[in-house]
Amino acid sequence: MHVLLITQYWEPEQGVVQRRWRWIGGDIVSAGHGLSVVAPPPHYPGGKLISHAPEYQAGSITTDDRGITVYRARFIEHDKSIVSRVKDQAVIMVSEFFTARKAIRKARKQGIPIDVIACTVPALPSAVVAFALAKTNRLPFAVELRDAWPEILDYMDQWRDPTQGEPKLGRRVKLYLFHRFLGTCGSVLDWVLKHADAVITTTKTLAELEKTKGCRNVVAVRNRANGGVPNCNVYPVRGDGPLRVLYAGTVGRAQGLRNAIKALQLARDEGADVIMRIVGGGVHLKPVKKLA
């Protein structure tokens, strides 16, 4: 079986998606199957190209030591603004479509035709491209859904940084239009999920949710720990001292680390000796630092 994956995130970027697909991709190849990937040049999370190596540039086609072939689409650099991000997404979507068509033709000429097209979402451009290609080439279509989209959009009002105060009128209009845009994207993604031949989730609860919405062939494939991480199941022997809490990961809105900091303060107010350290980055890092 030869799988074509449409994604917006791939190595050498560092992130949950990239690490997840490193072991999934390795397992696919180890099982005797083929994997080709269409992805933009590495520019996550800052929006700038993170490597000028030839194999990571737009238009490059490389095969790594595992036998995974990566086709690089185009992108445009973006900053934190919504407009620049949307432009980047649009360029990626168009470029990935034509790049994937090239990958399909090349695989066919090599005698190893694509058997299934997959994408990893909630990145909408990947879903649209993969769905369109699967239908036009009459191939099975599989979607990996990593978050509860579009249900998470019901909580958009909680995404605003409360430390910034009430936004001005112009800002409120932009937020309203952005929310409407995201709502439309969520509806499109929901429609794509219902028309997929298979849906892969990261948790059983999300799998059950998708089943209730009428999605077919839903299966949960959990994230797994990095085998290179030392075994920490044996608790170290320690005497008296503070309780040390470590959070390592994304510092975004969804993680709710402001609540953790508030809980830490409540515990200290009750006399608990607790220290918390946060290691990571994300769009909510500054508000979390300010609260801490």
Mean pLDDT of 117-137: 92
CATH code 3.40.50.2000 for 2-220: yes
In this predicted structure, what is the pLDDT of residue 165? 57
How confident is the model over 45-95, as pLDDT tens digits?
889 999 999 999 999 999 999 999 999 999 999 987 777 888 999 999 999
In this predicted structure, what is the pLDDT of residue 158? 57
3-state DSSP of 231-255: CCCCCCCCCCCCEEEEEECCCCCCC
How confident is the model over 99-119, as pLDDT tens digits?
999 999 999 999 999 999 999
What average pLDDT does the chain have?
A: 86
Nearest 5 degrees, angle CA 176-CA 256-CA 222?
Answer: 105
Reply yes or no: is the peptide bond before residue 12 cis, omega within 30 of 0: yes
Confidence class of residue 31 from pLDDT cuts 50, 70 and 90?
very high
* Beta-sheet strands, E only, within 130-217: 141-145, 198-201
In this predicted structure, what is the pLDDT of residue 114? 98
Domain residue ranges in the chain:
2-220, 243-291
Describe the crossing of helices 82-109 and 124-136 by its angle, rounded to 10 degrees.
Answer: 30
Please give the share of the chain, as a percent, with pLDDT higher than 90. Answer: 54
What are the tokens at 289?
């630092």
Confidence class of residue 148 from pLDDT cuts 50, 70 and 90?
confident
